[in-house]
Amino acid sequence: METTAHGGSASLAGSDYWWYRTRARLLRTVLGPYADGAGDVLDVGSADGPSVAWLRGLHHHVTLDIDPRGLTPGSCVCGSATSLPFADATFDLVGAFDVLEHCEPEDAVLAEVRRVLRPGGRFLLTVPAYQWLWSDFDVRNGHVRRYTRGRAVAALEDGGFEVRRATYAFAATFPAFVVERLARRARGLVRPDDGRPADVVRLPRTPPAVDRVLMALGSVDDRVLARRDLPFGSSVVVAARRPLA
C-alpha cells in the first residue's frame, strides 16, 4: 500500500498564490469550529503549509509529509499517509488538505487516520471536486481521483467516520475554473506527453488586478460559508469525527 508517486506541493514554489491565501480563510471559516479544544494535532501532507497556518500555534502540532522539502525542523515526520508512524489513539485532530486524492488505496488512508485518532477525535479534510473536470493538471499533481460531496461523504462513512459538515468551496470562482479546465480538455490537455506527475507543479501567474478580483470572489464564499453550505465549487471540504464507541 502506498501513495501515488508525485512531487512536492505547488505551494513550495508559490506559497503566496491567491488560491492558497483564499483557501486558508475558507478553511478557517468552515473547519475552525471543529478544531476548538484539540490538544494533539496531526497535519498530514503538511508541505501544503500556506493553507493550514490557522491550525497551528495553539496545539501540540505534528506535521507529516512524504516529501521532506515541505517539512521544517521541529515536530516533523517524513512518512506515508497509508502507514502513519504513530501509535493508536494518539491525536485529537487530524487534518489532510488535498491529500486523499493522491492516495491509493483510499480506504488504507482512512483506516490509518481513524486508528491514530482518539475516540471522538476530529478529521478535517479537503479534496478537489468533480471527475468530469479532470485534466493534465491532475496528472501533473499526481491525483488518482476527484470527488463530489456525496462521494467524499460516502468514503468517510464507509471508513467508520461520522460526518459533521460537508460543503463545496470556491463557488464564486467556479465558472472561471470550469471554463479554464474545459478549454484545456478541448486542446487535448488531459494527459501530458509523458503521463507522469511533475516534481513541483508550476502555478499560473496572475496580474495584481486579477489577484484582487479572485480574492474578492473568495470573500463572497467566505461570507456565505459562515452561514450555510455551498451547492457547488471546485473543492469539497469535510469535517468528520471518529465515533466515541
Which three three-digit cell numbers place residue 162?
A: 461520522
Is pLDDT above 50 for 2?
Answer: no
- The set of residues, in sequence order, having a beta carbon less than 8 Å from that of 48 and lying 6+ positions away, is 9, 11, 20, 70, 97, 98
Stretch 192-213: mean pLDDT, rounded?
72
For 103-115, the pLDDT digits (tens) are: 989 999 999 999 9
For residues 13 and 77, give the distance between their C-alpha atoms in angstroms, rounded to a whole number: 21
For 144-171, the pLDDT digits (tens) are: 999 999 999 999 999 999 999 999 999 9
Stretch 89-96: mean pLDDT, rounded?
96
Q: What amino acid occupies position 17?
A: Y
* pLDDT at residue 184, rounded to an integer: 76
For 18-242, CATH number?
3.40.50.150
Q: Which is more confidently placed, 197 or 149?
A: 149
Beta-strand pair 103-104/2-3: antiparallel
Q: Where are the domains of the chain?
A: 18-242
Torsion region of 211: left, alpha or beta (phi above 0 gives left; psi -120 to 50 gives alpha): alpha
The answer to which of 64-78, 111-125, 183-197 has the lowest mean pLDDT is 183-197
Task: Enter the pTM of the model.
Answer: 0.89
